[in-house]
Amino acid sequence: MKAKVKDTELSRRVGRIVANAYSDHQQVRMASMNRIRDIIWRKNEGIPFDKKLEKKGETRRSKEYNDSNILSLLDEMRESGKLTQDEASYLVTIVKIAKDESTTEKLYRKEMLEYITNEPIYQEFLTKIRGVGPVISAKLMKSFGYCDRYDSVSALWKHAGLHLVCPDCKRKVEMEDGTTKTLPVTASIDGKCPECGKRGISSKRRKGMVLDYDPALKTLCWNISDSFVKKRTPFYRKKYDNRKADELARTDSGKPKSKLHAEFRARRVAVKLFLQHYWCCARELKGLSISEPWVIRHGGHTHYKTWRDAVKANEKAV
């Protein structure tokens, strides 16, 4: 590897600023357009503003109400008398203001690309994986860096909410400020609770308990898995397909409750493998130690597909 790691605290903080600013502007634009879309949809369809919808979104998510069609739809509604001249003009103005956020988004996206282009982890790994673009790459780098904070990949998985926890057991932890927080008990390496022996479940929000992971990272992991499925990313999509088929074929006590449950499990396995490859590549680039994967150390396997195998599979598919 010829690229040199330039990972510093300053570069990470700059990366966070750029990636977070991009997300902030994107969220503002999307939220504004959704509110505008709801008003236009109700007015166009003759639905009272105080009527509670039975299904989230309903038909306002049809192509007719896409962002690109909103302005022309407003003209039609004005001409047909569904909107007065003043109402249409005001809505057009706020639509244009909301759309202006996309210009700012593009500026931050450009900065994100400049931020990550010269980073070794991007050159060697991320840019070579289909479905992992500049936005996902920047978010990964600003969150995990070169993984020097994670002595094991399981620590990274836990930070991202991909670990298993006991459905019942909990523990109290005293914080530095003197307060006490209640956390779920993390499942052991065999997937069972070390205290009661119950099978672990995916970590999630629970009443009375503090989250033991970063919810923003869990959302990022979902977006990555979604990209793998939709883009048919070589290597990771195959892992997803195989695991989903295995889950649907299970007849033991651990079988999924539904097809959707099997889908979630398969996505989780695929993105965990990707993050393991990220962890290995990042630490290798920075000259840090890398432990043997669980499948070799405890699972009885003699061979493990590395991040280089994933890169080769993607390059071969081009």
Q: Of 46-55, 84-93, 223-232, give the lowest mean pLDDT range.
A: 46-55
Q: What is the pLDDT of residue 1?
A: 47
Residue 3 pLDDT > 80, yes or no? Answer: no
Q: What local confidence, expressed as pLDDT, does residue 2 receive? A: 47
Q: What does pTM read for this prediction?
A: 0.77
- Across all residues in the chain, what is the average pLDDT? 85
Q: Residue 228 has what pLDDT?
A: 96
pLDDT at 99 over 50: yes
Q: Which residues of 224-255 are buried (b: 16+ CB within 10 A; e: fewer)?
A: bbebbbeeebbbbbebbeebbeebeeeeeeee
In degrees and rounded to multiples of 5, residue 168 shows phi and psi of -125, -45
DSSP string, 124-151: HTGGGSTT--HHHHHHHHHHHTTSTT-S
The arithmetic mean of pLDDT across residues 271-292, rounded, is: 92
pLDDT of residue 29: 86
178 in the Ramachandran plot: left (φ > 0), alpha (ψ -120 to 50) or beta?
left
| pLDDT value at 211 more than 90 | no
Tens digits of per-residue pLDDT, 142-189?
889 899 999 999 999 999 999 988 888 888 888 777 788 888 888 887
Q: What is the mean pLDDT of residues 182-204?
A: 86
pLDDT at 274 over 50: yes
> Is 170 within 8 Å of 182 (Cβ atoms)?
yes
| Percent residues over pLDDT 70 in the chain | 88
- Residue 58's pLDDT is 52
Spatial separation of the C-alpha atoms in residues 54 and 5, rounded to whole Å? 52
Instruction: Decide which of 177 and 205 is more confident.
Output: 205
